[in-house]
């Protein structure tokens, strides 16, 4: 698989961002990319007034996504990008769209919202309630994650359990003390602990770090961008993936399964109860078969 990752600084005008995305698609198609990963929040920039995300959101059949999807027509390149979609309660959902040859082939709604480091994404965004999403791309299985999702290893493991060989990770990673280090460590960890490729696209500009990267199944960074816009390239090899999983068979050697049931949002969780006996704890099930499953 030929992977391209596009990095740019979103403008407040969706039409400007659409043009930028289309130019990156043209570059990826010209380079014969099978997969192009673009940033989270590619639709519009929301720096000083996060509530503007509600005003700028568009439905999946709106002009931004329609223009993005139509621009993939006639090529075999699959494009993954993050947009915001209006919801009935006035908030929005944070949606990844995967498009190929003029069609939407997969969507994923961000499960983990960025209520951390003094920010509250949930004030304006509805969390997803969907199962982890894996789709086919050029003979590979690609799993979808968004930005803050990378801090939750169980999601990446559930994607690996569904056969994901590549994780596409659009992000808008906000600047802050040690934040770039967090990004690098966690993108690398998700690749290494699941022996898969991770193609991570970071929005750049005055708010976000950029730092897009592709990491291989043994945790080696194959390509990386700094703070400037650009398009990076990396090749994923089926032989290399198989060799990594033979050398480091963590998916076979693990002793615990990941519970695929979606945990309620924190404000909906029941009152704490005494721990059940160890053999009754659902999140600590020892997998007697020593095989990955959910």
**Enzyme catalytic residues:** 40, 110, 147
Q: Find out whether 100 and 72 touch, Cβ atoms under 8 Å.
A: yes
Furthest-apart CA pair in the chain: how many Å? 59
Q: Find out whether 198 and 215 touch, Cβ atoms under 8 Å.
A: yes
DSSP codes, 87-129: -TTS-EEEEEEEEETTEEEEEEE--S----TT--GGGTEEPP-
* Distances from the Cα of 205 to the Cα of 43, 53, 76, 264, angstroms: 15, 17, 30, 34
Q: Find out whether 54 and 124 touch, Cβ atoms under 8 Å.
A: yes
What is the crossing angle of helices 153-161 and 179-194, to 10°?
Answer: 30
């Amino acid at each position: 698989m030929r992977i391209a990752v596009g990095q740019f600084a979103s403008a407040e005008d969706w039409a400007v961002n659409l043009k930028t995305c289309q130019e990156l698609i043209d570059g990826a198609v010209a380079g014969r990319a099978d997969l192009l990963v673009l940033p989270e929040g590619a639709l519009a920039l929301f720096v000083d007034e996060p509530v503007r995300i509600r005003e700028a959101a568009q439905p999946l059949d709106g002009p931004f996504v329609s223009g993005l999807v139509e621009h993939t027509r006639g090529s075999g390149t699959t494009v993954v990008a993050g947009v915001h979609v209006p919801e009935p309660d006035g908030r929005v959902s944070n949606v990844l769209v995967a498009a190929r040859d003029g069609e939407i082939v997969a969507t994923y709604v961000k499960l983990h919202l960025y209520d951390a480091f003094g920010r509250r994404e949930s004030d304006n965004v509805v969390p997803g309630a969907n199962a982890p999403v894996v789709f086919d791309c050029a003979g590979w299985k690609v799993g979808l994650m968004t930005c803050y999702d990378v801090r939750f290893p169980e999601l990446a493991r559930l994607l690996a359990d569904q056969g994901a060989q590549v994780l596409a990770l659009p992000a808008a990673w906000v600047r802050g003390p040690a934040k770039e280090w967090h990004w690098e460590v966690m993108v690398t960890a998700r690749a290494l602990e699941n022996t898969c490729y991770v193609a991570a696209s970071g929005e750049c500009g005055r708010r976000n770090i950029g730092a897009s990267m592709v990491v291989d199944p043994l945790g080696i960074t194959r390509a990386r961008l700094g703070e400037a816009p650009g398009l990076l390239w990396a090749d994923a090899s089926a032989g290399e993936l198989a060799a990594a999983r033979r050398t480091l068979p963590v998916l076979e050697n693990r002793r615990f399964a990941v519970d695929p049931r979606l945990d309620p949002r924190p404000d909906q969780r029941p009152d704490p109860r005494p721990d059940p006996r160890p053999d009754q704890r659902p999140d600590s099930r020892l997998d007697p078969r020593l095989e990955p499953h959910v």
